[in-house]
Copies of this chain bind each other. A is one copy, B any other.
Amino acid sequence: MKIVTAVAPVNIAVIKYWGKRDETLILPINDSISATLSLEHMCAKTSIVCSPDLTETKFWLNGELQPTDSKRFQNCLREIKKLVNPNLEYLSWNLSICSENNFPTAAGLASSAAGYACLVYALAKIYEINGNISSIARMGSGSACRSIFGGWVRWQMGNTTDGSDSLAVQIAPETHWPEMRVLVLVVNDKTKTYSSTSGMKTSVETSTLLKHRAANIVPQRTKEMITAIKNKDYKTFAKLTMQDSNQFHAVCLDTYPPCFYLNDTSRAIIELIHFYNQNKGETKVAYTFDAGPNACLYLLEKDVAEVIAMINYVFPPTSLKSDYFKGDTVPSKKLDEEFTEVLSKHCQPEGKLKYVIYTRVGRGPKILLDSQDHLLTESGIPKFL
């Protein structure tokens, strides 16, 4: 019997992945770049038991038993097993897999990326595989490949038809830019969003702007972003991040029928950030939005206190909210009166944001050795049962 428990981080792209050239292998039409967020506040956790006593392979996700015949799950398992020594005794044993996120999936925060990275990372440990497993995580969920590494990560689109060169590489470790901070603004929204899988498929089929973006804009932008990250050039990093988020949503709108992920609150956040940067005379905050209305702000530690104060002022929590700010302890600052005066015209009704997570760039997946951390008993039964 073998048991492994791993945790894997969320990542937030600053150059966006949108569009596949191969739906089965999950090969993208352009490179993308992301930062991996700290495991502390947002992560997926997966325990795997591999045992000759298990009569079948089972998979629980967030407390619910999942079908194990899903294409994505099977692809990951098959590709991992290809790398295993075929004589390994326990290769034929069944698996019990239990996975959960420590943040609300309702928040729509890249949970599948963390989830598949965690699954593949844990499987690799079970079967004692080394090497770059990011291309296997990619087959579960494209952006999962980037969660295999900490710090700043590039997903190289690759060129081969078998996808062997479509994998993630680390641009810089999490220690490279220690001042970088992240605020995740979770927007209150009841609108059902389009799945990103079907949205990007429709974009590839119908958006003429997407073809142009992938072929002619992203390659240059990727180079510029890597240079900005390596040089810790915040101003360039921030502008490219905002431009690429906007262009990704532009492509969604150019899709037919269009996909909308930004709502009026997202728009208010974007306008607030531009207003703030302009008012301060320099770029201090950058926003980026994935396939949903939630904002992710990249900013430097020195500016966090004021930005937190501004968010609290412009987007007041409902009177019932006690834990509006989650994650790291938020620094406190009073907005100066003159700035509050001009800010007052940007104020939103309370309750537009659900909550805010304050976090930072962090490391890649890791193994938890304490038996208390396992989600499964040694006989492969989820502890929650």
Contact = CB atoms under 8 A, between A and B. Distances in A.
Contact of A212 (B212, B255, B256, B258): B212
A236 interface: no
Nearest to A264: B264
A105 interface: no
B250 A260 contact: no
Contact of A243 (B239, B243, B256, B264): B256
A254 B244 CA distance: 8
A107 to B, nearest CB: 20
A264 B246 CA distance: 17
B250 A209 contact: yes
Contacts of A208: 212, 216-217, 247
Nearest to A274: B257
Nearest to A270: B258
Interface in A67-90: none
Contacts of A217: 208-209
A189 to B, nearest CB: 10
Contacts of A354: none
**Residue among A209, A247, A270, A274 facing the most chain B CB atoms (10 A cut-off):** A209
A274 B256 CA distance: 10
Contact of A263 (B252, B254, B255, B264): B264
**Residue among A250, A252, A260, A270 facing the most chain B CB atoms (10 A cut-off):** A250
Contacts of A232: none
Contact of A213 (B209, B251, B257, B274): B209
Contacts of A253: 246-247, 249-250, 253
Given A209-B212, A213-B209, A267-B263, A246 B242 contact: no
Contact of A254 (B250, B258, B260, B270): B250
For chain A, give the interface size range.
20 to 34
Interface string A286-303: 000000000000000000
A260 B256 contact: no
A267 B251 CA distance: 15
Interface in A296-349: none
Nearest to A266: B260
Nearest to A243: B256
Contacts of A257: 242, 270, 274
Contacts of A258: 246, 270
A239 B260 CA distance: 18
A271 B258 CA distance: 8
Interface string A219-247: 00000000000000000000100110011
Nearest to A246: B258
Nearest to A258: B246
Nearest to A208: B217
A260 B250 CA distance: 11
A254 B257 CA distance: 18
25 contacts: A208-B212, A208-B216, A208-B217, A209-B209, A209-B212, A209-B217, A209-B254, A212-B212, A239-B256, A243-B254, A246-B253, A246-B258, A250-B250, A250-B251, A250-B252, A250-B254, A253-B253, A257-B270, A257-B274, A258-B270, A260-B267, A260-B270, A260-B271, A263-B264, A264-B264
Given A246-B253, A250-B251, A253-B253, 19 more contacts: A208-B247, A209-B212, A209-B217, A212-B212, A212-B216, A239-B256, A242-B257, A243-B256, A246-B258, A247-B253, A247-B254, A250-B254, A257-B270, A257-B274, A258-B270, A260-B270, A263-B264, A263-B267, A264-B264
